[in-house]
Amino acid sequence: MTAKKRNTRAKKTPPEARQFDKRDYRRALGQFATGVTVVTTHSKKGRPIGITVNSFSSVSLDPPLVLWSLSRQATDFEEMNEAERFAVNVLAARQHHLSRQFSTKLPDKFAGVAYQQAADGSPLLEGATAQFICRVARRFEGGDHVIILGHVEEYRWQQGEPLVFHSGRYHVTTRHPDLPE
């Protein structure tokens, strides 16, 4: 006599029905170390705008594409989302104060900040380890964010230690002790 096979498949909860504890989910995401950037542009009236972003990522080398995510809760959401050009400033380890400053709701986030302007008017923060000057290629809906794909038209970089964010805190990188110089 043979035993009947039982259906051992677990019922899956539809994705739209799942609920996460947002704070716990954020802690889980925080286990992924990221670099810290400030994305900058200017308003239609020429006012410099900037926001701290750790969702920056390289997408493609050919063509040169990058992406970042803009929170719908961002202070300057409308102006940032309408901009057709932007710059990504990769912060150096010593620039943690800029990360904090550009993550606030201050009316003038550029107060006391040394910067130059790219040809398109996007602010380029002095001391950043890399800068990518981009035009918007596409925007995608992404829940409570808009995902912005940018075509890199120009870039600059210099050697330096990057600012890193992990588990809700700033960190600096060190060389792995098990690997040769």
Domains annotated on the chain, with CATH: 36-168 (2.30.110.10)
Q: Which of 63, 110, 61, 73 is nearest to 89 (CA)?
A: 110
The pLDDT-based confidence of 12 (bands split at 50, 70, 90) is low
Is residue 96 classed as helix, strand or coil in its secondary structure?
helix
Q: What residues are paired with 130 via a beta bridge?
A: 90, 157
pLDDT at position 166 is 87
pLDDT single digits (tens) 102-136:
999 988 999 999 999 999 999 999 999 999 999 99
The pLDDT-based confidence of 176 (bands split at 50, 70, 90) is confident
The pLDDT-based confidence of 16 (bands split at 50, 70, 90) is low
Mean of pLDDT values over 70-97: 96
For the chain, helix, strand, coil in percent to 5 are 15, 40, 45
Do residues 80 and 49 touch, judged by C-beta distance below 8 A?
Answer: yes
Residue 99 has phi, psi (to 5 degrees) of -60, -45
Measured CA to CA, the distance from residue 169 to residue 141 in angstroms comes to: 28
pLDDT single digits (tens) 47-80:
999 999 999 999 999 999 999 999 999 999 999 9
Q: Please state, rounded to an integer, the average pLDDT across all residues of the chain.
A: 90
Query: What's the pTM?
Result: 0.86
Q: 47-85: buried (b, 16+ CB within 10 Å) or exposed (e) per residue?
A: ebbbbbbbbbeeeeeeebbbbbbbeeebbbeebbeebeb
pLDDT at position 131 is 98
Measured CA to CA, the distance from residue 42 to residue 121 in angstroms comes to: 7
Residue 133: Cβ-neighbour burial (10 angstroms; 0-12, 13-18, 19+): buried
If you count them, how many residues does the chain have? Answer: 181
The pLDDT-based confidence of 10 (bands split at 50, 70, 90) is low
